[in-house]
């Protein structure tokens, strides 16, 4: 009820912020370092392959990412320029397709991603109960 956080509160807030930053940065750095893909790149290519077998309507892709149209539009423009995806206008929308180059890259990125998540999140938390941790995190998104 005060305007400042108590020492206890500060401690938890800083630990949270620091951990969130570190994990995000480390995982992203591993993927970028070995494949050149950014986090958004990885998310999009993964969905194209897993959800659409290589192609999805732009609209569905946006929904699956929980992204606004404009964000996806900008992102796809850059990825298209880098040769990772192609766009084709069809009746009532746009179909996004992964290119052969995109497929090669995502295939290389997947194991790196799994290893990074293990190294930077799962391993450090191994002495805690996985279900407990998952449940605690779920409390933050309700």
Residue nearer to a copy of itself on the CB measure, 77 or 133: 133
Give me the DSSP letters along 88-129: EEETTEEEEEE-HHHHHHHHHHHHHHHHHHIIIIITTTTTS-
Work out how close the CB of 63 gets to a copy of itself at its nearest, in angstroms, rounded to a whole number.
16
Nearer to a copy of itself, 63 or 122 (CB): 122
22 binds a copy of itself (CB under 8 A): yes
Binding site for DNA (CB under 7 A): 25, 38-41, 57-59, 62, 67-79, 81-82, 87, 91-94
The least distance separating a copy of itself from the CB of residue 39, rounded to whole angstroms, comes to 10
Q: Which of 65, 86, 94, 117 binds a copy of itself (CB under 8 A)?
A: 117
Q: Does 121 bind a copy of itself (CB under 8 A)?
A: yes
Applying CB under 8 A, does 8 fall inside the site for a copy of itself? yes
Q: For the purposes of burial, counting CB atoms within 10 Å of the CB of 40, is it exposed (0-12), middle (13-18) or buried (19 or more)? A: middle
Q: How many CB atoms lie within 10 A of CB 72?
A: 20
If one counts every other C-beta atom within 10 angstroms of the C-beta of residue 46, the result is 17
Of the CA atoms within 13 Å of residue 128, those in its CB half-sphere come to 12
Q: Which residues, 6 or more positions from 52, have their beta carbon under 8 angstroms from its beta carbon?
A: 60, 61
Rule CB under 8 A: which residues touch a copy of itself? 2-5, 8-9, 11-13, 15-16, 18-20, 22-24, 110-111, 114, 117-118, 120-122, 124-125, 127-128, 130, 133-134, 136-142
């Amino acid at each position: 009820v005060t305007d400042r956080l108590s020492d206890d509160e500060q401690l938890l807030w800083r630990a949270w912020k620091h951990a969130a930053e570190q994990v995000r940065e480390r995982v992203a750095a591993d993927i970028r370092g070995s494949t050149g893909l950014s986090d958004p790149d990885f998310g999009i290519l993964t969905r194209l392959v897993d959800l659409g077998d290589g192609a999805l309507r732009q609209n569905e892709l946006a929904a699956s990412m929980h992204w606004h149209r404009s964000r996806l539009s900008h992102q796809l423009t850059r990825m298209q320029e880098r040769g990772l995806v192609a766009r084709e206008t069809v009746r009532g929308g746009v179909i996004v397709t992964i290119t052969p180059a995109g497929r090669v890259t995502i295939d290389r990125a997947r194991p790196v991603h799994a290893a990074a998540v293990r190294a930077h999140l799962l391993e450090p938390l191994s002495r805690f109960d996985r279900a407990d941790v998952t449940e605690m995190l779920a409390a933050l998104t309700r």
